[in-house]
Amino acid sequence: MSTVTIDRRVFLCGPVAGALVTARAWAQTAPVSAGPADPKLIEDLVAANRVLADQGVVDGYGHVSVRHPADPQRYLMSRSIAPEMVTAADVMEYDLDSNPVDARGRASYLERFIHGEIYRARADVTAVVHNHSPSVIPFGVSTAPLRPLYHMSAFLGGGVPVFDIKIAAGQATDMLVRTPALGRALAQTLGPRPVALMRGHGAVVVADSLPRAVFRSVYTEMNARLQAQAMALGGPVTYLDDEEARRAEASVAGTISRPWELWKKKALAR
């Protein structure tokens, strides 16, 4: 009986070789970690997810991130999971291309590109929230602009832009910001503003801290609800003018820790 010798080089041209090459390529291109984040920041990120759920801004969908304090080219966000269920163990690190540093088999949010591209475009932004805040949705699909109705939502002064993904993509989509290009288009629509609506989808809210991003998300939802009620009464609605909005925002800015500590205590006690 003849002996068949299998050349190892030929064998490695098969599926095993492909897997090895892929693994090596990933090892060479995987983002480098900025290092462990402060446990207090991780706790705040977990709390932010739960607070937004408690306040009715997110449900099983939506996500919040924070820029890594050790490297502005990295950000932290949970794996793909309902916000109310997020724990410290779910938090992952990403680069600004929204590649996970150490996925370990954990799934990422499809729309993580919202976060990476906004951080890339806005050096002043430290936290990003994406939500499907229900009262906000109508203002992204109608001609009625979202405007600051009272002092708690004064940050809406100056106008709230609306992102239309169909225009950005040049064709119909599934409405999800699932590519870097769409993330960049959304960041461009947001511009220097703290809030942008997303037609037929939701909103994105940014700030220079997690507590402020949560605060703005909560009061954007509340303003939308109150504005719809005021409009339904009939007759003209008196909104904050630009100077009132500027003054009110400056006054409220120093008090954000008050609701944040209350919301956080309640959310983490569950």
Which of the residues in the chain have pLDDT under 70? 1-28
Query: What pLDDT does 270 receive?
Result: 80
Output the pLDDT for position 30: 75
Residue tagged 């009110």 (tokens): 248
Which of these, 114, 125, 137, 118, lies nearest to 57 by C-alpha position? Answer: 137
For residue 240, give its domain range. Answer: 39-268
The answer as to whether 14 is a domain residue is no
Tell me whether residue 132 is in a domain: yes
What is the pLDDT at residue 29? 72
Catalytic entry in 43, 84, 111, 249: 111
Q: Is residue 10 part of a domain?
A: no
Task: Specify the number of domains making up the chain.
Answer: 1
Collapsing DSSP states into helix, strand and coil, what is residue 64? strand
CA 124 vs CA 158, 173, 207: distances in Å:
18, 30, 8
- Residues with Cβ < 8 Å from 81, sequence gap 6 or more? 90
> Apex CA 227: angle with CA 237 and CA 58, to 5°?
170
| pTM for the whole structure | 0.89
Question: pLDDT tens digit string along 132-174?
Answer: 999 999 999 999 999 999 999 999 999 999 999 999 999 999 9
**Amino acid 17: pLDDT:** 44
- Assigned token pair, 191: 């511009």
Is residue 249 part of the annotated active site? The answer reads no
pLDDT for the residue 69? 97
Q: Does residue 180 sit within a domain?
A: yes
| Per-residue pLDDT, 4 | 41
Please report the pLDDT score of residue 122 as a whole number: 98
CATH number, position 229:
3.40.225.10
Decide if 23 is inside a domain. no
pLDDT at position 1, please? Answer: 44
Is 4 contained in some domain? no
